[in-house]
Amino acid sequence: MNLLKDRKKYGSLFLAFLLIMGLAITTGCGLSENNKPEAKKDTKEVKTYQVATRGTFRPFTYMDEKDQLTGYDIELLREVQKRNPDIKFEFKTMSVDAGFLGLESGQVDIVANQIVANPKRADKSIFTKEVNNYTSRKLAVKGDRTDITTIDDLRGKKVAVTSSSEVTRQLQKYNETADPKIELVYTDKGTTETLNLVTTGRVDASPTYEVAIDEAKNTLGLDIKAVGPTIASDATCYALRKDESSQALADRIDATIKEMRADGSLKKLSENFLGKDYTVPQM
């Protein structure tokens, strides 16, 4: 009888011991987990940048049939965004001059509109170094015109130009010695409106991107053509505010465009939007 009681007694004590040890182990594990430092999140904060663009310069920046902004300059930035998940671009349509004023005031961070690095703006702006594409400007004239093929033929005639264009400065320089001078008609309207000035005879010509002239003729049915040799071919880029954080963003954009050039996607984007590879210098 006593032996049976002793067995029950020791059995109960053994079970109690196991229960206490189990609780101690469980509690220890819980404390160990609680004391572990939180794992660092491997995600960067997404930063949004405001981009100024005209939205009226087909095929570089324009509204499609669904009234959505697209174009070569736009889709290139969207590819930069895709390859850099911590970068987001939001687009605002405005004139180029308004875009540069927006850079100065901090309202926008980038101007995207076939920008050519301009020394006059270098004191307040920086420019990406990797080339987006090379321009090929020719003279746009009405389809039945045969009297204009070169810049010399523009003397004494009306020519529509934009104030922010490199080729405008080229014509202004030409006018310093021209006799008679070219009558420069300044306009901030979009490409379509400018080419309409040509087709309706309100101006005689306009120095315009060859690809934009072809686009207006083939897509919009304008009675227009590109004539003569290439009068200007410039490397285009993006403009940003001149400060440290903007330089860091410019470096990111440059690195991505360089990557796209290497993997062939930059050339493909040019062919899709511009009709051929304008990522190499044009003759």
Got the DSSP string for 153-213?
Answer: GGTTSEEEE-TT-HHHHHHHHHHTT-SSPPEEEE--S-HHHHHHHHHTTSSSBEEEEHHHH
Q: What per-residue confidence (pLDDT) applies to 29? A: 43
**Residue 16 token pair:** 């109690």
The pLDDT tens digits for 168-177 are: 989 999 999 9
Please tell me the predicted confidence (pLDDT) of residue 192: 87
pLDDT score at 40: 44
Domain with 174 in it: what CATH number? 3.40.190.10
Q: Are residues 145 and 228 in the same domain?
A: yes
| Domain ranges, residue 186 | 137-232
Same structural domain, 178 and 109: no
- CA–CA dist 243, 145 (Å, integer): 48
* pLDDT confidence tier of residue 12, bands split at 50, 70 and 90: low
Q: What is the pLDDT of residue 118?
A: 84
226 & 141 share domain: yes
Residues 257-276, mean pLDDT to the nearest whole number: 97
Residue 191 confidence (pLDDT): 86
**In a shared domain, residues 125 and 242:** yes
* Cα 160 from Cα 98, distance rounded (Å): 20
Given strand 206-209, what is the order of strands in its sheet?
206-209, 137-142, 224-232
Residues 53/111, Cβ–Cβ less than 8 Å:
yes
| pLDDT of amino acid 119 | 84
Crossing angle for the helix pair 244-263 and 72-83, to the nearest 10 degrees: 100
Give the count of domains, the chain.
Answer: 2
| Residue 257 and residue 209 in one domain | no
Chain segment 213-230, per-residue pLDDT in tens:
998 999 889 999 999 999
The model's pTM: 0.74
Instruction: Write down the pLDDT at residue 43.
Output: 64
Residue with the two structure tokens 């996607």: 265
Q: Is residue 268 part of a domain?
A: yes
Average pLDDT, the chain: 87
At residue 166 the predicted structure's pLDDT band, cuts being 50, 70 and 90, is confident
Sign for the pseudo-dihedral over CA of 244, 249, 250, 251 = positive
Point out the least confidently predicted range of 31-40, 86-95, 170-179, 234-243. Answer: 31-40
pLDDT of residue 92: 98
Same domain, 253 and 211: no
**CA–CA gap between residue 275 and residue 62 (Å, rounded):** 16
Q: What does the pLDDT read at residue 44?
A: 77
